[in-house]
Structure 1
């Protein structure tokens, strides 16, 4: 029996993340008829301890002799694991939230990134705001979310489309330190501004709650993909202003793969979300890797070349790989957050963004001189 290893992370905001990642992979393999594949798990905490991530990956490779490893980590941790996987001649599939921009998009044949593209969605949301006619923008982030380079992509997207970042506001880390009061003075200083916001987890709910008391109805909010995470939005109060942006996925996307995914996850008593989605999709990638390794007698370079031409249908739409960066590219969606019957939030998908490959290539060529992030942990894992 072949084995697949998966490194599972923890999160204080998304308490079920490890179960979501595991069940997404398990249920997808089951649906694909691969009961001959065993999943072996290792916990990596919040993904911030480099030695723990290394030890857990090493254990899967040496003691469990897995054929490949799937891990919810970021680029920086993946690169630290690169020598280990090169030495073992094994493949690492990174489940990447896409919240950071790496200093260089190095492509090792042993590492492939399957991404939710939060930075790319942020880039497109910034462009969307400027194209909607808002030339004055304010960057609004939490202490945690603002530590990733998605802040750079959303601001550069806004500026490239003709906008100007006029003010920045970062909230506190804890609920008692979370405030939007400074925005009142900022908004008075600039004509017709838009808010470019980056939040995840409970911060999304706190953000909307505070903005309802701070904003007038004419100030729009633009979000990146994690701002559209539906399990958080279901209990968030709608701030009664226009909320737009770019979503990676929604339960309301109409295709057969999404119906199968949502119904399968719900049938085991769980709620479909971005994490179970990402690992559900990774099952197809893992099976393709195993087939390629078998056909190529374990040759990693030939296996990587085979993945570069691999495409498959997912709940998000068509998925393919960008060969220069070994990163999966899929459809993104222009979306809005509208008011539900009980005054909470729900996602409305407006249309598909079809030119994501071109936009990803443009974003990945941004110069990051003197730009860095201090966060090593997996995104949302705090």
Structure 2
């Protein structure tokens, strides 16, 4: 029997995150050929305590002797675990929100990143605003979301596409300290600027409520990144503008048999499908492939790494493949808009983005000198 370790986070505004990640992996493994397995879990809190993350991973490797570990963590925490996994000669599969940009993209043969690509989505969101005719942009973020380098991705990308950032606003991190008052003077001065918006979780709901409170019926042009377009949070968010667009990594509206199967399977377990159950569902294919390669190559992780990076597989998002230089999975992204559903928000898919591989290469080549994020938290885990 194969033992699969998983490091599970917690989040105050995605309260079901650990259950979603666990059930996504479990349900997907049950649908694959890998029948004889045991999932062993360890809790890592918000992912900010480096020692807690290290001890949890060490326990899985030493005491449980797992074949590999799956973890919802960021690049910085994964790099801290790198010596441990090299010493154990075991593989770490990182479920990556893609919200941060590492100062150096990792190429360790023991660590692979399966991503939701929020920073890449931010780049496409900036491009979409430019294509819609906006040359001036305001960067609007929440206190927490603003601490990750997807903010750099959206602002630099807007400038790469010949736009200009003319305003920045970061809100407070509590609902009673969350307001859009500074937008009033900004819009008086720059009435034709796009609101390049990075929010997640409850912050999306607070954002739209504030826009309705202060700018109702103004139909402000707002552009969101993938976590801002997450459906389970949007369905509780007030509809705030006829011009809210963005990029989504996944939606229930994606029409393919793999997505339909994923949705039906998760709903049958009593869970509501979301981006967290999706990414762990997809990771089961990587787990199955790694275990098959372990049977072929034994402990030769360089051979396993080489074969794994040539692996492609079908998922609810489409075909997923690896970027060889960064050990990161690449998957389609989708242009979408927010539509009114009885006063609240729903998603409408407009187009599938096909040039995501080329744009990821540009994103990975960003020079991050004197640019850094202080957050170790797994993204959305506060």
* TM-score, scaled relative to structure 2: 0.99
Q: 1:89-147 deviations in whole A, cap 9, x for unaligned?
A: 00000000000000010210000000000000001101111121101100000000000
Alignment of 1:1-382 (within 5 A): 1-215=1-215, 217-340=218-341, 342-382=342-382
Runs of 4+ in 1 over 6 A off after TM superposition: none
Q: Judge conservation of contact 2:95–2:113 (CA < 8 Å) in 1.
A: yes
Residues of 2 paired with 1:240 and 1:101: CA distance?
30
Q: Judge conservation of contact 2:220–2:241 (CA < 8 Å) in 1.
A: no
Q: Judge conservation of contact 1:329–1:357 (CA < 8 Å) in 2.
A: yes
Deviation, structure 1 residue 165? 0.3
**Gaps in structure 2 of 5+ consecutive residues:** none
Deviation, structure 1 residue 297? 1.9
Q: Judge conservation of contact 1:3–1:39 (CA < 8 Å) in 2.
A: yes
Residues of 2 paired with 1:297 and 1:185: CA distance?
63
Residues of 2 paired with 1:193 and 1:219: CA distance?
9
Q: Judge conservation of contact 2:334–2:351 (CA < 8 Å) in 1.
A: yes
Q: Judge conservation of contact 1:192–1:219 (CA < 8 Å) in 2.
A: no
- CA-based RMSD of the aligned residues comes to 0.8
Residues of 1 paired with 2:153 and 2:309: CA distance?
25
Residues of 2 paired with 1:32 and 1:297: CA distance?
22
Deviation, structure 1 residue 219? 2.4
Residues of 2 paired with 1:128 and 1:233: CA distance?
20
Q: Judge conservation of contact 1:131–1:161 (CA < 8 Å) in 2.
A: no
Q: 1:222-267 deviations in whole A, cap 9, x for unaligned?
A: 0000011111011110103301111000001000100000000001
Residues of 2 paired with 1:266 and 1:127: CA distance?
35
Question: SS at the partner of 1:14?
Answer: coil
Deviation, structure 1 residue 80? 0.3
Residues of 2 paired with 1:57 and 1:197: CA distance?
35
Q: Judge conservation of contact 2:221–2:241 (CA < 8 Å) in 1.
A: no
* TM-score, scaled relative to structure 1: 0.99
Deviation, structure 1 residue 214? 2.7
Residues of 2 paired with 1:290 and 1:158: CA distance?
42
Deviation, structure 1 residue 211? 0.9
Q: How many residues align?
A: 381
Q: Judge conservation of contact 2:14–2:380 (CA < 8 Å) in 1.
A: yes
